[in-house]
Amino acid sequence: MRRFSQRSYLVTLSEINITPLLDLAFVLLIIFVITTPLLTQTINLKLPTGGTPDKVADRRNLRMVEVSPTGVYLLDRVRMRSLADLERTLVASFRSNPNLIVRIHADESGPYKHVAALLDLCLRHGITKFSLGTEPPGRTP
């Protein structure tokens, strides 16, 4: 004798199991947390000490150029393939914004020729507002 109704095979599950969805969300979160710091490129620079702090300027007018001791240039934390690429990008920025200020951060132990090439590039194209980044006296980086 059968005690269950004949309709039992038509009963659908009224709950959705969200455990696999949560597992996927946590895995994606972990992947993004791990890979995000790897996407930003920086150069470990030791700036020279001295000088006075820069005046506060509008961020839209600033472009930061980092120069490594080996001659690698980063423009706003994006690695430039060559000095010519940096030149094209800076000139285009200067044409669209004549108030452009180039902030130069160069390693204190690096050769001066890389900084001199950058300064020459700026002056040839009429970019006369630039700032050389230094660490304030008495502050250890």
74 inside domain? yes
Its pTM surpasses 0.95: no
Domain that holds residue 77: 59-132
Percent of the chain with pLDDT over 70: 75
Query: For 63-75, what is each residue's pLDDT tens digit?
Result: 889 888 888 888 8
44 vs 62, residue with greater confidence: 62
Q: What CATH number does the domain containing 83 carry?
A: 3.30.420.270
Query: For 92-135, what is each residue's pLDDT tens digit?
Result: 999 998 888 898 888 888 888 888 999 999 899 998 888 888 77
113 inside domain? yes
Phi-psi region of 76 (alpha: psi -120 to 50; beta: other; left: phi over 0): left
Q: What is the pLDDT of residue 89?
A: 92
- Using CA atoms in the order 123, 129, 131, 132, what is the torsion angle rounded to 10 degrees? 10
105 inside domain? yes
Q: What is the pLDDT of residue 30?
A: 92
53 vs 95, residue with greater confidence: 95
User: How many domains, in total, are found in the chain?
Assistant: 1
Burial class, 72, CB count within 10 angstroms (exposed 0-12 / middle 13-18 / buried 19+): middle
Confidence of residue 25 (pLDDT cuts 50, 70, 90): very high
Coil, strand, or helix at residue 78? strand
